[in-house]
Amino acid sequence: MDQASALRELVRRENMAGNRQADARRQDEINRSIRVIAITSGKGGVGKTNIAVNLAYALSVMNRKVMIMDADMGLANVDIVLGLAPKYNLFHVLTGEKSLQDIIVRGPGGITILPASSGIEAMADLAKGYKLALLDELNALKERPNFMLVDTAAGIAGNVTYFNLAAKEIVVVTSPEATSMTDAYALMKILYQNYARKRFRLIVNMVKHQGEAMEVFKRLRHAMDRFLNIQIELLGYVLYDEKFKEVIKRQKALTELYPHSPASKCIYGIAEKVCGEIPERVENGSLVFFGETGVQHGHG
């Protein structure tokens, strides 16, 4: 519990420091060069981490520099999926023992990963000051990625919301399961009603065929349009793929090991789509200062 009190002390100091103007300038710079995409979901276990990892690899094949931030602070798993054993993680950055640069680990295809700490309770609901300090450190990175994929935890806990609001683009993952769709709707509703985020793109994962994905998309689109007057977009779908079982055991990316498997093809398709886009300058997403995005402190 020493760690927890050390964290609290840091938060207090961070909150007092803060130079907003300098932050804003650096923020502008960073926004120009990095596309920050949160990969999130209402319900857990719908495939966020696997999509983040495999999309990252696919993008790297297309010569993009990609960094994954494991923002699932409670239960780190990007490193587990890829069989990496990072010595340091975001916890050490937050306590000031290490810089962000020090904790970067390399994955397949040269993708870089910022590992989360696993099992430290204090990390699971970071206070504002920490997140500020953490994301601010991104400015100091030696090589800036083209893409930063933020693999969030599921749900609408304060921490998840923060990371979603920090990203300029929000990709919501859902499976065709009714509960997963309901939770996806609830997540988008909260991000809209409480934080004025309006642009959401959907990845429908674990579908049997394209038609099933379209059905899920249409139903969610209809609900979002009818009750919230928001038009969501379909970024893509990923087929259910038995090969995942094998690659998970081997701790490799599916898009690396089986680039022609059904799910891989879908993910390469999504990567191509993402690469071909000209990123919008999103109204109120920002990477660093959460304070300016209308975040309510302590929201859970």
Ligand X SMILES: Nc1ncnc2c1ncn2[C@@H]1O[C@H](COP(=O)(O)OP(=O)(O)OP(=O)(O)O)[C@@H](O)[C@H]1O
Q: 202 with 42: CB under 8 angstroms? A: no
First vs last Cα of the chain: how many Å apart? 22
Distance CA 16, CA 4 (A): 19
Query: Segment near ligand X (CB under 6 A), from 37-45, 102-110, 213-221, 225-233?
Result: 37-45
For residues 151-170, which are near ligand X according to CB under 6 A? 154
- Residue 70's binding partner, choosing from Mg ion, ligand X, none, with beta-carbon cut-off 5 to 8 A by kind? none
- Residue 41's binding partner, choosing from ligand X, Mg ion, none, with beta-carbon cut-off 5 to 8 A by kind? ligand X
E strands in 107-245: 112-114, 147-152, 169-174, 201-207, 233-239
Which residue carries 């961070």 as its tokens?
14
Phi and psi angles of residue 235, each rounded to the nearest 5 degrees, phi first: -80, -35
Query: Segment near ligand X (CB under 6 A), from 100-108, 138-146, 233-241, 276-284?
Result: 233-241
- Residue 92's binding partner, choosing from ligand X, Mg ion, none, with beta-carbon cut-off 5 to 8 A by kind? none
Q: Is 47 in the site for ligand X (CB under 6 A)?
A: yes
Distance CA 289, CA 265 (A): 37
Distances (CA, A) of 156 to 42, 44, 230, 254: 7, 11, 19, 29
Query: Segment near ligand X (CB under 6 A), from 26-34, 177-185, 234-242, 288-296?
Result: 234-242
Residue 80 DSSP symbol: H
Whose Cβ is closer to ligand X: residue 132's or residue 206's?
A: 206
Tell which one of 244, 268, 289, 290 touches ligand X (CB under 6 A). Answer: 244
Which residue carries 């970067």 as its tokens?
104
E strands in 13-108: 35-40, 66-71, 105-106
Tell which one of 104, 186, 230, 248 touches ligand X (CB under 6 A). Answer: 248
What tokens does 235 get?
A: 């970024």
- Residue 205's binding partner, choosing from Mg ion, ligand X, none, with beta-carbon cut-off 5 to 8 A by kind? ligand X
Site string for Mg ion, 27-66 (x = CB under 5 A): ---------------------xx-----------------
Using alpha carbons, select from 172, 176, 169, 164 the residue that is nearest to residue 203.
172
Distance CA 263, CA 254 (A): 8
User: Smallest gap, in angstroms, from Cβ of residue 239 to ligand X?
Assistant: 6
Whose Cβ is closer to Mg ion: residue 49's or residue 205's?
A: 49
- Residue 241's binding partner, choosing from ligand X, Mg ion, none, with beta-carbon cut-off 5 to 8 A by kind? ligand X
Residues that bind Mg ion (CB under 5 A): 48-49
Which spans of this chain sit near ligand X (rule: CB under 6 A)?
41, 44-50, 72, 154, 205-206, 238, 240-241, 244, 248, 263
